[in-house]
Amino acid sequence: MRHQFGQGQSGQGRSGQERSGQERSPAGTARVTELAAALRATVRGEVDFDAAGRALVTMDASNYRRVPVGVVAPRDADDVAAALAVCRAHGTPVVPRGGGTSIAGQATGTGVVLDFTRHMNRVLAVDPEARTAVVQPGVVCDTLRDAAAEHGLTFGPDPSTHSRCTIGGMIGNNACGSHSVAWGTTADNTLELDVLTYRGDRARLARGGHEVPAPLRSAVETLVADRLALLRTGYPELPRRISGYALDELLPEKGRDWARAFTGSEGTLGVLTEATMRLVPAPAARALAVLGYPDESAAAEAAAGLLAYGPLTVEGMAADLVGEAALGVLPAGGAWLFVETGGADPAEARAAAETIGRAAAADLTGWKVVADPAGQRALWRVREDASGTATRLPDGGEAWPGWEDCAVPPARLGGYLREFRGLLRDHGLRGAPYGHFGDGCIHIRIDFDLLTPPGIARFREFSVELADLVAAHGGSLSGEHGDGLARAELLPRMYGDELVGVFEEFKDLWDPDGGLNPGVLARPAPLDANLRFTGLPVKPGPLAFSYPHDDGDFSAAVRRCVGVARCRVTTPGSDVMCPSFRATHDETHSTRGRARLLHEMLIGEVVTDGWRSPEVRDALDLCLSCKGCRSDCPVGVDMATYKAEFLHHHYAGRRRPAAHYAMGRLPRWLALASALRLAPVANTLAGLGPLAALAKHLGGIAPERDIPPLATAPF
């Protein structure tokens, strides 16, 4: 009942039917039903074609939204093969998905989504002598790092989402993280990959390609041999070149490394089922030099010069991303570089950090060295939360990804940043740059208006001009997060039409049916199609709460969730968020999952019952209203308030569950019992089995629970 929420924004881009690839006709519905039945008969893992399951994977952490027909959680590689066979027989595309933290839209759902986080999420082996680990694609980055740490090793790449992103997703995007100046990209740490093509062929990818199926190997080697000159000259030289397919890794002088060539392919070539990753020695001790500069351009100019000291990180951020509390622990400045050093012991690590501080001192507004682990973690938390906090500007305005991770040669970063700031001013846009300054990679959230046609047109115009600016500086449109739906359309501006044509040929050799993640990388969808804001209503109302920080707009409150998934962290720590996800490990019961369901409720395409939606009600049922998300979520999602809003409308004019009356009015019942001195009587009756069972039934209390005794003396 979409009309409940008022007029939806039409925006631009494709319709919901085009986004999802579904047909609304009875014949289309029958085909989806047949597909679901065939998958359930073949796959041992869960098959979910319900509205709630689909709603959870329509989005990742990007500006984009695509609606799948269903979700499959395979248990092993054979399950993946079975799912691919069924989807192929039904002409249905497949998208592999990890933690859903991608920022370019490549993990959004279309066709059938393969969720690897449910079952295929283990570290299978660690070989400390060879410094390798064998993992499944759904294993979380930090889980691998913890397993490696038992042997004094670590996995080098560590995106800011390392506590919830998966290795499969990192391979798909060729993710990097803050330590890439020391340990490289995911491709630099990938040794062997087991993959399945859409047609079900198994391939083990490694240097030489000896275990690649002969027809595929021969065809790809012919493609490379025919384009040797183009592949040798068509790629820019820089440490963070992530955009496009890494076909140059198949050149003979590079050892024809099929694993590296596959890394960064964003689920468009094959489906990963197992990976052998390189591990590196973990420094016994670390220290952090925090260097203050007048502004981010000065910090950017200085970053490349610090690489000679062999740091583990050179991360940059400006003051407009730092809250008042964090400013108090940073040295004076308008921007900072976080330069981490390692050593055999704390003294050696501190000495290395102090050497860097003294060497840079002439250009600094202030600096400090932090050697204690707790202090370092607190400062890194400020940096890692930037991808969320940058979504809200200091005046409360919304800002979005889309140009989240362009990269240029580090020596050109300062000049690029100045021109980038000028381009923002020319378009009347704002944003706060931060990121991996040592590698020339900049993150930023920009206050695009993605709700109205004029705003979306400006988004497109800015994107084209920025792509040209990046290319002029010898850079890469993506330096970490991949091209996805956000930048793939613009790859010809970086590589030229001829090399992009070779990308399409490469894709066709792997996936001649076009069944894997269509619309991404090869023959991409327009960058202004599939926007996740299309269809959201304008200020749905009337509302029970005022939402003062969102201009009274419940849609804007729900939009706060950008999908960075801090609520999916399950390791012990200082965070409260999200207790129901920690208990269930089910996305439905995470803050992000609930926000996604509310988003889909407002659009009305997948979740169609509006405020009466049973899917949203069930997802909110385990929410404790603890307000943990209000403090722990980088963008301040307040699910307790959203739950109260939803339940107010959901039960308007209807009888509520008994527990709502029993527990919601508990203070009244306790006051009445105290006034009438009924506590001793109530306690006696609660001890009688049949009466206690009746009371629990009437009060909506689970029969397994004991009724706690009332205090006989009021207080």
Task: Evaluate whether residue 402 is within a structural domain.
Answer: no
Task: Evaluate whether residue 565 is within a structural domain.
Answer: yes
* Dihedral sign, Cα of residue 422, residue 424, residue 429, residue 430: negative
**pTM > 0.95:** no
Omega prior to 578 cis, within 30 of 0: yes
Burial annotation 428-466 (CB, 10 A radius, 16+ → b, else e): ebbbbbbbbbbbbbbbbbbbbbbbeeeebebbeebbeeb
Residues 106 and 24 in one domain: yes
Task: Evaluate whether residue 390 is within a structural domain.
Answer: no
pLDDT, position 19: 38
Boundary residue ending a domain (281, 310, 332): 281
Q: Which of 172-181, 259-268, 424-433, 532-541 has the lowest mean pLDDT?
A: 532-541
The residue whose two tokens read 């029969």 is 703
Task: Evaluate whether residue 633 is within a structural domain.
Answer: yes
- Calculate mean pLDDT across residues 304-308: 96
The CB-based long-range contact list for 503-509 (8 Å cut-off, 24+ gap) reads 503/244, 503/245, 503/247, 505/223, 506/220, 506/223, 506/245, 506/247, 506/269, 507/245, 507/268, 507/269, 509/216, 509/219, 509/220, 509/223
The two three-digit tokens of residue 327, written as one number:
């400013």
Task: State the angle between helix axes of 497-510 and 214-226 in degrees (0 to 180), rounded to the nearest 10.
Answer: 170
Give how far Cα 526 sits from Cα of 14, 64, 325, 410, 485, Å.
Answer: 9, 11, 41, 30, 7
Residues 109 and 21 in one domain: yes
Nearest to 98 by CA among 42, 173, 46: 173
pLDDT tens digits, one per residue of 680-691: 998 898 888 898
pLDDT tens digits, one per residue of 207-217: 999 999 999 99
Residues 166 and 248 in one domain: yes
Strands (E) in 437-527, as ranges, are 441-443
Give how far Cα 309 sits from Cα of 184, 193, 351, 356, Å.
Answer: 16, 34, 12, 7
Nearest to 567 by CA among 583, 547, 582: 582
Residues 273 and 331 in one domain: no
Boundary residue ending a domain (597, 619, 650): 650
Average pLDDT, the chain: 92
Task: Evaluate whether residue 695 is within a structural domain.
Answer: yes
Task: Evaluate whether residue 198 is within a structural domain.
Answer: yes
pLDDT, position 576: 87
CATH of the domain at 179: 3.30.465.10
Question: What is the number of other CB atoms lying within 10 angstroms of the CB of residue 346?
Answer: 15
Range of the domain at 488: 410-503
Give how far Cα 589 sits from Cα of 567, 585, 616, Å.
Answer: 10, 8, 10
With vertex at residue 404, the alpha carbon angle to CA 489 and CA 428, rounded to the nearest 5 degrees, is 90
Task: Evaluate whether residue 541 is within a structural domain.
Answer: no
Residues 295 and 348 in one domain: yes
Residues 372 and 420 in one domain: no
Task: Evaluate whether residue 391 is within a structural domain.
Answer: no
Question: What is the number of other CB atoms lying within 10 angstroms of the CB of residue 150?
Answer: 9
Q: Looking at the 3D structure of the chain, how many domains does it have?
A: 6
Residues 175 and 274 in one domain: yes
Question: Is the predicted pLDDT of residue 632 greater than 80, yes or no?
Answer: yes
Residues 148 and 100 in one domain: no
Determine the straight-line distance between the first and last CA of the chain, rounded to whole angstroms: 49
pLDDT tens digits, one per residue of 401-412: 888 799 999 999
Question: Is the predicted pLDDT of residue 13 greater than 50, yes or no?
Answer: no
Residues 234 and 100 in one domain: no
CATH of the domain at 61: 3.30.43.10
Give me the DSSP letters along 176-223: -BTTHHHH--TGGGEEEEEEE-TT--EEEE-BT-TBS-HHHHHHHHHH
Residues 141 and 275 in one domain: yes
pLDDT tens digits, one per residue of 270-301: 999 999 999 999 999 999 999 999 998 899 99
- As a whole number of angstroms, the distance between CA 590 and CA 119 comes to 18
Residues 446 and 367 in one domain: no
Residues 15 and 108 in one domain: yes
Question: Is the predicted pLDDT of residue 563 greater than 70, yes or no?
Answer: yes
CATH of the domain at 305: 3.30.70.2190
